[in-house]
């Protein structure tokens, strides 16, 4: 059995054309590709840093 009051809560006011600009500006456009690229870049930066910290040790002459 449908509860009218509960069902009515599912309906929200529709956006009008005047509100379109605000909606476009407020839309979160970040996608998974952005997240992945950021992660990969972060991972690449971390690796290069580790290489840079390891390099002086590698330069030490072997006995």
Name the residues that contact another protein, by CB under 8 A: 1-2, 4, 7-8, 10-17, 19-20, 23-24, 27, 29-34, 36-37, 40
- In 3-state terms the chain splits into helix, strand, coil percentages (rounded to 5) of 70, 0, 30
CB nearer another protein, residue 7 or residue 57: 7
Whether 23 contacts 15, CB under 8 Å: yes
Q: What is the chain's alpha carbon radius of gyration, rounded to the nearest angstrom? A: 27
CB nearer another protein, residue 1 or residue 61: 1
CB nearer another protein, residue 13 or residue 61: 13
First to last CA, the chain: 85
Least Å distance, CB 53 to another protein, is 23
């Amino acid at each position: 059995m449908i509860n009218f009051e509960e069902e009515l809560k599912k309906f929200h006011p529709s956006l009008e054309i005047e509100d379109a600009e605000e909606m476009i500006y407020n839309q979160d456009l970040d996608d998974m590709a952005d997240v992945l690229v950021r992660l990969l870049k972060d991972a690449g930066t971390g690796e290069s840093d580790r290489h840079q910290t390891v390099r002086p040790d590698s330069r030490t002459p072997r006995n």
